[in-house]
């Protein structure tokens, strides 16, 4: 294990909520909750203002509303979050070739590998400069931990929150870890934590005191040995620059169980389209299509089909998912659907069967168009077109109005949508209400949080 605190862990502060506050001047300094807004919704991120009321991630949104009824509740805007994440990861990769992203808002960096730092003083200087650069480029704040290992660097960033930097000096690690709860160590989840608690072990110091043999007896050789080493502040895990995803998937949870088989098929087709769009954005393809179905009784079924070669063709994935659905009984109702692709590759191989089927369908359609309608066809009454589906206006998402310009959705319902017209660089804006089918109002792409010249577009979470 290295002797200098040159492993950096960055964790953006309340990332989704902070990005929304930076984008919406009227929400700065106020409680903001981002997540699913339906009866089964779950909180993804809560701003620090909302956390004061007891709201936290993974909490049911209904419970959060009881704790913080006056907070702003918004649906996630992953396009914005990915754009900001790419900016942050670019800053990290400028420091070192060894950057290990853990999520959109969290990553390890080996500063020594990039020659950016070689001791505590230079590491601290790099960390402070990084925090300043993140605020300059994104308008948001991030917390930094610096230590000799990944485990300790992550503990440091947690102690630095919000908007701070903690450097754990070499030689002080055991003293720092001793009083902390066992859950702070990597690999200690709820089940392992409960197992240790039943054995009278609740702190890291008590793990060290128990000894390796006792931990092996309690948890098995691999887990017990590794956990004992962590309790002694020994973590040899390197920063790994490539964390290739093993699969790409999308899923939706529905506020009300879906009983209509036709709608289920339509949802699966829509999810397949979203999944292949993500595949193409990542420049990947995959061989195995996976369907996930959670039924009304919470039983979850997965079905998979492996193709002859990797593909990123929406039609191929859609047809495979439809075939998998045929083998699943959904008569009792469906509460969640998901479509994924695994066995990823960097190239595609056409599915000849699907291609041939598509060509046959096109030929049949062309023949139908060229056929001369007979008397029977002339006698058929025209079918009235289905009423257009009401446009959805997700709370928090960006819109633009032909007259009033850019804004965001505050809420919608009963045929009306309420919009606040403001941008990341404007003052808090005015609120106006429109019909949901107003032709002058449309959804739009997120605006940058910071102006191109580097001026701050909004306060990050501090």
The number of CA neighbours under 13 Å toward the Cβ of 136 is: 9
Neighbours of 448 (CB within 10 A): 17
Q: What's the Rg (C-alpha) of the chain?
A: 26
Q: Is 378 a catalytic residue?
A: no
pLDDT tens digits, one per residue of 209-254: 999 999 999 989 888 999 999 999 999 999 988 655 678 889 988 8
- In the predicted model, what is the mean pLDDT of residues 434-446? 95
Which two structure tokens, joined as six digits, stand for 33?
């909750």
Banded model confidence at residue 364, pLDDT cuts 50, 70, 90: very low
- Please tell me the distance from the alpha carbon of residue 207 to that of residue 202, in angstroms, as a whole number: 8
pLDDT tens digits, one per residue of 271-302: 999 999 988 887 788 889 999 999 887 788 99
Q: Give the residue among 244, 242, 247, 278 at the shortest CA–CA distance from 343.
A: 247
Neighbours of 416 (CB within 10 A): 13
Banded model confidence at residue 453, pLDDT cuts 50, 70, 90: low
Q: Give the residue among 235, 128, 232, 228 at the shortest CA–CA distance from 176.
A: 232
Average per-residue pLDDT for the chain: 87
Q: How many residues does the chain have?
A: 462
pLDDT tens digits, one per residue of 146-195: 999 999 999 999 999 999 999 999 999 999 999 999 999 988 888 888 98
The number of CA neighbours under 13 Å toward the Cβ of 419 is: 28
- In the predicted model, what is the mean pLDDT of residues 123-136? 97
20, 49, 100, 106: the catalytic one is 106
**Element counts in the chain: helices (H) and strands (E):** 15, 17
Question: What one-character DSSP code corresponds to residue 449?
Answer: S
pTM of the model: 0.73
pLDDT tens digits, one per residue of 50-90: 999 999 998 999 999 999 999 999 999 988 999 999 999 99
Alpha-carbon distance values, 253 to 75, 247, 284 (Å): 13, 20, 26
């Amino acid at each position: 294990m290295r002797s200098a605190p040159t492993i950096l862990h960055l964790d953006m502060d309340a990332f989704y909520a902070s990005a929304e506050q930076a984008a919406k001047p009227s929400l700065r300094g106020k409680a903001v909750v981002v997540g699913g807004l339906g009866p089964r919704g779950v909180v993804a991120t809560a701003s620090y203002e909302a956390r004061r009321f007891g709201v936290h991630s993974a909490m049911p949104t209904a419970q959060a509303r009881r704790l913080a009824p006056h907070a702003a509740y918004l649906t996630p805007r992953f396009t914005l979050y990915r754009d900001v994440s790419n900016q942050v990861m670019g800053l990290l990769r400028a420091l070192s070739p060894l950057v290990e992203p853990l999520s959109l808002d969290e990553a390890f960096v080996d500063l020594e590998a990039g020659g950016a730092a070689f001791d505590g003083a230079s590491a601290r200087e790099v960390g402070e400069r990084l925090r300043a650069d993140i605020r300059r480029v994104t308008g948001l704040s991030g917390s930094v931990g610096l230590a000799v290992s990944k485990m300790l660097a992550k503990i440091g960033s947690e102690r630095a929150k919000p908007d701070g930097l903690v450097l754990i000096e070499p030689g002080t690690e055991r003293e720092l870890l001793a009083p902390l709860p066992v859950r702070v160590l990597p690999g200690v989840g709820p089940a392992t934590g409960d197992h240790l608690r039943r054995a009278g072990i609740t702190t890291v110091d008590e793990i060290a005191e128990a000894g390796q043999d006792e931990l092996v007896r309690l948890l098995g050789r691999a887990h017990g040995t590794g956990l004992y080493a962590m309790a002694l502040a020994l973590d040899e895990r390197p920063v790994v620059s490539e964390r290739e995803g093993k699969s790409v998937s999308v899923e939706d949870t529905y506020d009300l169980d879906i009983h209509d088989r036709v709608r289920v098929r339509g949802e699966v087709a829509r999810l397949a389209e979203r999944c292949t769009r993500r595949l193409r954005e990542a420049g990947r393809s995959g061989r195995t299509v996976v369907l996930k179905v959670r039924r009304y009784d919470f039983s979850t079924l997965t079905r998979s089909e492996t193709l002859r070669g990797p593909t990123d063709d929406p039609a191929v994935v859609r047809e495979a998912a439809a075939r998998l659905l045929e083998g699943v009984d959904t008569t009792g109702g469906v509460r969640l659907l998901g479509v994924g692709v695994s066995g990823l590759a960097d190239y595609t191989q056409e599915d000849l069967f699907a291609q041939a089927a598509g060509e046959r369908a096109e030929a049949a359609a062309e023949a139908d168009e060229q056929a001369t309608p007979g008397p029977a066809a002339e006698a058929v009454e025209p079918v009235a077109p289905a009423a257009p589906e009401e446009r959805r206006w997700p709370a928090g998402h960006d819109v633009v109005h032909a007259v009033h310009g850019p804004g965001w959705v505050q809420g919608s319902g009963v045929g009306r949508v309420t919009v606040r017209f403001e941008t990341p660089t404007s003052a808090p804006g005015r609120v106006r209400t429109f019909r949901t089918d107003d032709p002058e109002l449309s959804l739009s792409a997120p605006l940058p949080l910071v102006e191109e010249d580097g001026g701050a577009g909004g306060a990050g979470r501090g």
